[in-house]
Amino acid sequence: MANVVVIGAQWGDEGKGKIVDWLSERADIIVRFQGGHNAGHTLVIGNETYKLALLPSGVVRPGKLSVIGNGVVLDPWHLVSELDALKTRGIDIGAHDLKIAENATLILPLHRELDQLREAAAGEHRIGTTGRGIGPAYEDKAGRRSIRTQDLKNLGTLGPKLDRLLVHHNALRRGLGVAEIGKDTLMRELATIAPKVLPYVENVWSLLDAERRAGKRILFEGAQGALLDVDHGTYPFVTSSNTVAAQAATGSGMGPGAIGYVLGLAKAYTTRVGSGPFPTELTDDVGEQLGQRGQEFGVNTGRKRRCGWFDACLVRQAIKVAGINGIALTKLDVLDGFPEIKVSIGYELDGHRIDNLPAGQNAQARVKPIYECFEGWSQSTKGARKWSELPAQAVKYVRHIEELIECPVTLLSTSPERDDTILVKDPFED
């Protein structure tokens, strides 16, 4: 049996929540391995809709172990609020249901403030972060001054670490013209939240190793998408972590050999939140129609997503750098009724044809998509659970997408509902 990694093959918001929840029925353990609570995911289960950001998508399924790995930056206050919100709806997540890596980096209130202050100071040159402190927390991790979950066990010895952290942050705050933070204030905040988090803290790498040896199926859940990867994405308009499949090993404490199958998610069109290049973006009525039909608003922030046609070049590029074995194509039903559908099959840059998005920021801003046009379909695909229930033209569209991205479509999602999914190949059956 293969352990499966699920990642986004675009700029995030591809529907990972539903697919991970659907796959989690076949898994024993669901692991978040990077990012923070900046990537919301929506689960629709019957008449219930759950909007999560930090907790793994499989957490609403009874009998499954959810794990937050060391590659995640964890806001403990948000964690508690998310757990409390689920509890009010009858889902009580105990320490036997959720484990948090003892070496995960904490997002502190000062990280959130710094994130928002810097974005405001950048003006029109802002990156477009969610302002939740993810970037500053990763910076402290790389700078070897972060506070980690294990530190909550020994607050009495935390003084020197807080001193080191505040030397850095108070210098930044002085430069930004805001008040400095006192060590006592930060210590009180940590002392208040620690008892609520510590019951979940665990030596995760050891736990996962034992479970893998016992033959348990592990599902690794990524956040954001491959095009937001700090190395391989549209830099600098990216997130602060690696979002490709290889990070599942690093961000969970398991070796690369633990990864069996990599499932990439892509919408049947393209969306993006925030700033940055978007070659197929539509600012006309068609783009507006895609956004309305697809309900393209951020789960966490409510920000309106930019919409455009499917970009086969970008998805093909993501497949190669992220190590994707198969694609789950989502939101096919949003394209129902369009008389004509376009797909970008290449770009024009300064009068020359190219087949990948260049790494340079200026060049990315200048590329123009080269489109191939498809005849649309008038019948509904919404809720289809078999290939035979799809219009012939929709099947033709999907099959041609496979050729363009050089990767098979192994799952097809036709609505937000968990069971409205067409399975071509079970990723767990290696």
Which tens digit of pLDDT belongs to each residue from 361-375?
Answer: 999 999 999 999 999
**pLDDT single digits (tens) 150-200:** 999 999 999 999 999 999 999 999 999 999 999 999 999 999 999 999 999
**pLDDT single digits (tens) 397-412:** 999 999 999 999 999 9
pLDDT at 430: 64
**Active site residues per annotation:** 13, 41
Distance CA 316, CA 333 (A): 22
Q: Which range among 19-28, 61-70, 196-205, 330-339 shows the weakest confidence by mean pLDDT? A: 19-28
Which residues, in sequence order, are CB contacts of 424 under 8 Å at separation 6+?
A: 408, 409, 410, 411, 412
Q: Are strands 310-311 and 270-272 parallel, antiparallel or unpaired?
A: unpaired
Share of the chain above pLDDT 90, in %: 79
Mean pLDDT across 345-363: 95
pLDDT at 16: 86
pLDDT at 22: 86
pLDDT at 20: 85
pLDDT exceeds 80 at position 213: yes
Share of the chain above pLDDT 70, in %: 97
pLDDT exceeds 70 at position 146: yes
pLDDT at 17: 81
pLDDT exceeds 90 at position 302: no
3-state secondary structure of 199: helix
pLDDT at 119: 83
At 262, the pLDDT band (50, 70, 90 cuts) reads very high
- Among 36, 31, 39, which residue's Cα sits nearest to residue 221? 31
At 380, the pLDDT band (50, 70, 90 cuts) reads very high
Strands ordered across the beta sheet of 218-221: 201-202, 98-101, 65-68, 29-32, 218-221, 4-8, 261-267, 326-330, 409-413, 421-423
pLDDT exceeds 70 at position 299: no
- Among 259, 204, 196, 164, which residue's Cα sits nearest to residue 71? 204
Q: Which range among 61-75, 152-166, 293-307 shows the weakest confidence by mean pLDDT? A: 293-307
Tokens of 245: 């499949």
Please provide residue 41's backbone torsions phi and psi, each rounded to the nearest 5 degrees.
-140, 140
pLDDT at 429: 82
pLDDT exceeds 90 at position 52: no
pLDDT exceeds 90 at position 250: yes
pLDDT at 428: 87
**pLDDT single digits (tens) 116-134:** 988 888 777 776 677 789 9
Q: Are strands 270-272 and 41-45 parallel, antiparallel or unpaired?
A: unpaired
**pLDDT single digits (tens) 100-113:** 999 999 999 999 99
Distance CA 18, CA 3 (A): 18
pLDDT at 128: 66
Q: Which residues of 198-215 are buried (b: 16+ CB within 10 A; e: fewer)?
A: bebbbebbebbbebbeee
pLDDT at 287: 94
Distance CA 404, CA 398 (A): 10
At 301, the pLDDT band (50, 70, 90 cuts) reads low
Mean pLDDT (the chain, rounded): 92
pLDDT at 300: 60
What is the pTM (predicted TM-score) of this model?
0.91
Mean pLDDT across 377-406: 95
